[in-house]
């Protein structure tokens, strides 16, 4: 779907010239690039940005450190933010060709752009990703990638339909210590896995609307575009300064997916569950949700925090995970370290203990290599689909305050109409895909 807010003429122009690109872009594989050297412009991956705030800048910095990336434009409904990105690229990377635009369709419609980095708030991630896919772009999207179970399905289907490369910004699959921890689980070195633990922050739902303020001029902040597919609410500048987080309709999953999109993702990987989800969810309280896979393995989502909250090994950092087998256990967190039941488990592994879990550098590289090879990225849309569905289902169970049964094949709750109604939410018109 084209930008519905545009005139008919612009829509017609778009449909005439920009549609879908099915195959690979004309880019030479990275194996022949010699990535340490300068890359010829014809072999560069041309990147556009959408909604790049503080996290987006971190991602962008990683992209700009790659010799085969050329960053040319950023779209943001906030003038100040897009100008910040232009200056960031200029000052830190000597890039003077970034053209800031307000409308993300201007990025998607550019024929010269191969890939887009989407780092808006939660509300836009899936919708923008799907629109980008229909315009033939490959996509790196920050997390949580979807607002609902249904959106998780739609995103995956759309990416597959258009043959695009998608990388969810759940970078811990490309962070050394987490990879080692997962390998210990998957290789059988911990014995049969009985339970996996995903660190989450406290679940809560903020239904409040902040007090209405006068909307700024659209050239400064286009509030309608900022909201996009999210439910309408009156303007308040705090939302635009990052205080959208936690607000129902702007953020997703009652905060469970804030960290859960990372940690559940790792747990899914550890128990080889990338194409499925747990079959049962039960919220114990606001800090713990129990789930169970069809084979009996438990997934326990429980409180963690920046200050070592929760029942985790101290000093591992945020977003911890723990995998327990009948012969041992392993625990890892964002500070790059690993704790194991027996030090011998780590024999033969080499990893950089200084690499932080928040660092997307290797994840970005993985995405770019996938753009070249056309092989799925580590956290492709299907991986993201099931990890996010598991998170959304857990959050719905918490919201309902009761145990729910879930069918991973239909991705529906079993005999629970109320829960199933919570699998989706209408997107605000005209923003759709």
DSSP character at residue 216: P
Report the distance separating Cα 69 and Cα 45, nearest Å: 5
Binding of another protein at residue 398 (CB under 8 A)? yes
Binding of another protein at residue 134 (CB under 8 A)? yes
Binding of another protein at residue 188 (CB under 8 A)? no
Strand-pairing partners, residue 197, are 300, 322
Binding of another protein at residue 421 (CB under 8 A)? yes
Binding of another protein at residue 137 (CB under 8 A)? no
Choose one: 237-245, 296-304, 311-319, 392-400; the region binding another protein (CB under 8 A).
392-400
Work out how close the CB of 422 gets to another protein at its nearest, in angstroms, rounded to a whole number: 6
**Residue written as tokens 């039960």?**
282
Choose one: 82-90, 113-121, 357-365, 417-425; the region binding another protein (CB under 8 A).
417-425
Calculate the dihedral angle through the C-alpha atoms of 275, 279, 285, 287, rounding to the nearest 10 degrees: -20
Nearer to another protein, 82 or 134 (CB): 134
- Tell me which residues in 281-310 interact with another protein (CB under 8 A): 283, 286
Nearer to another protein, 95 or 424 (CB): 424
Binding of another protein at residue 220 (CB under 8 A)? no
Contact flags string 240-259 toward another protein, x per CB under 8 A: --------x-----------
Nearer to another protein, 151 or 334 (CB): 151
Sheet holding 138-141, edge to edge: 99-101, 69-75, 45-50, 115-118, 138-141, 166-168
CA nearest to 193, candidates 272, 118, 133: 272
Q: How many CA atoms within 13 Å lie on the side-chain side of 329?
A: 14
Nearer to another protein, 53 or 249 (CB): 249
- Binding-site size, another protein (CB under 8 A): 46
The single residue among 202, 399, 405, 412 that binds another protein, judged by CB under 8 A, is 399
Cα distances (angstroms) measured from residue 204 to each of 37, 132, 307: 49, 32, 19
**Residue written as tokens 């085969």?**
68
Work out how close the CB of 207 gets to another protein at its nearest, in angstroms, rounded to a whole number: 6
Given a contact cutoff of 8 angstroms between Cβ atoms, the answer to whether 234 and 212 are in contact is yes
Nearer to another protein, 20 or 40 (CB): 20
- Alpha helices by DSSP H, listed for 187-280, are 223-227, 237-238, 256-270
Output phi, psi for 143, to 5 deg: -110, 165
Binding of another protein at residue 202 (CB under 8 A)? no
Binding of another protein at residue 157 (CB under 8 A)? yes
Work out how close the CB of 135 gets to another protein at its nearest, in angstroms, rounded to a whole number: 10
Choose one: 54-62, 174-182, 204-212, 256-264; the region binding another protein (CB under 8 A).
204-212
Question: 3-state secondary structure string, 128-159?
Answer: HHHHHHHCCCEEEECCCCCCCHHHHHHHHHHH
The single residue among 48, 49, 51, 136 that binds another protein, judged by CB under 8 A, is 136
Cα Dmax for the chain: 67
Cα distances (angstroms) measured from residue 200 to each of 175, 189, 261, 380, 402: 19, 26, 9, 22, 19
Binding of another protein at residue 354 (CB under 8 A)? no
**Strand, coil or helix: what is 174?**
helix
CA nearest to 345, candidates 185, 141, 158, 232: 185
Report the distance separating Cα 390 and Cα 286, nearest Å: 17
The single residue among 31, 38, 232, 241 that binds another protein, judged by CB under 8 A, is 232
Residue 164: CB atoms within 10 A of its CB come to: 26
Nearer to another protein, 94 or 214 (CB): 214
Nearer to another protein, 183 or 205 (CB): 205
The single residue among 79, 160, 346, 412 that binds another protein, judged by CB under 8 A, is 160
Binding of another protein at residue 433 (CB under 8 A)? yes
Output phi, psi for 298, to 5 deg: -90, 140
Work out how close the CB of 19 gets to another protein at its nearest, in angstroms, rounded to a whole number: 5
Binding of another protein at residue 414 (CB under 8 A)? no
Return the ∠ at Cα 246 (arms to 432 and 309), rounded to 5°: 140
The single residue among 106, 205, 215, 274 that binds another protein, judged by CB under 8 A, is 205
Choose one: 65-73, 188-196, 229-237, 344-352; the region binding another protein (CB under 8 A).
229-237
Nearer to another protein, 8 or 214 (CB): 8
**Strand, coil or helix: what is 372?**
helix
By CB under 8 A, name the binding residues for another protein. 1-2, 4, 8, 11-12, 15-16, 19-23, 134, 136, 157, 160-163, 205, 207, 209, 231-233, 248, 283, 286, 398-401, 417-418, 421-422, 424-430, 432-433
């Amino acid at each position: 779907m084209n930008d519905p807010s545009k005139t008919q003429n612009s829509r017609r122009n778009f449909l005439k010239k920009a549609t879908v690109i099915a195959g690979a872009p004309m880019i030479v594989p990275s194996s022949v690039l010699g990535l340490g050297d300068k890359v010829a412009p014809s072999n560069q991956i041309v990147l556009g940005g959408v909604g790049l705030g503080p996290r987006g800048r971190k991602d962008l910095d990683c992209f700009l450190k790659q010799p085969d990336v050329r960053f040319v434009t950023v779209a943001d409904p906030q003038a100040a933010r897009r100008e910040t990105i232009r200056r960031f690229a200029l000052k830190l990377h000597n890039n003077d060709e970034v053209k800031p635009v307000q409308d993300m369709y201007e990025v998607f419609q550019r024929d010269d752009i191969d890939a887009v980095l989407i780092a808006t708030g939660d509300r836009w991630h899936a919708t923008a990703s799907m629109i980008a896919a229909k315009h033939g772009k490959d996509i790196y999207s920050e997390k949580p990638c979807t607002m609902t179970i249904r959106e998780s399905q739609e995103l995956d289907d759309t990416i597959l339909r258009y043959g695009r490369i998608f990388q969810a910004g759940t970078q811990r699959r490309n962070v050394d210590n987490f990879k080692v921890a997962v390998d210990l689980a998957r290789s059988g070195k911990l014995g049969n896995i009985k339970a996996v633990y995903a660190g989450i922050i406290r679940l809560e739902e903020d239904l409040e609307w902040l007090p209405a303020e006068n909307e700024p001029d659209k050239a400064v902040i286009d509030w309608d575009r900022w909201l996009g597919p999210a439910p309408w609410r009156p303007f308040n500048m705090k939302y635009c300064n990052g205080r959208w987080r936690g607000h129902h309709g702007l953020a997703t999953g009652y905060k469970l997916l804030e960290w859960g999109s990372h940690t559940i993702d790792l747990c899914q990987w550890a128990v080889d569950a990338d194409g499925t989800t747990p079959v049962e969810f039960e919220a114990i309280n606001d800090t713990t949700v129990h789930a169970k896979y069809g084979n009996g393995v438990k997934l326990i989502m429980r409180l963690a925090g920046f200050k070592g909250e929760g029942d985790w090994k101290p000093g591992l950092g945020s977003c911890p995970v723990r995998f327990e087998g009948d012969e041992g256990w392993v625990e890892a967190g964002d500070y790059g370290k690993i704790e194991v039941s027996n030090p011998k488990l780590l024999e033969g592994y080499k990893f950089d203990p200084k690499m932080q879990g928040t660092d997307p550098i290797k994840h970005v590289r993985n995405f770019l290599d996938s753009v070249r090879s056309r092989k799925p990225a580590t956290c492709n849309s299907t991986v993201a689909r099931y990890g996010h569905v598991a998170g959304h289902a857990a959050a719905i169970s918490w919201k309902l305050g009761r145990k729910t049964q879930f069918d991973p094949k239909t991705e529906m709750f079993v005999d629970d109409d109320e829960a199933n109604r919570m699998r989706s939410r209408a997107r605000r018109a005209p923003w759709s895909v």
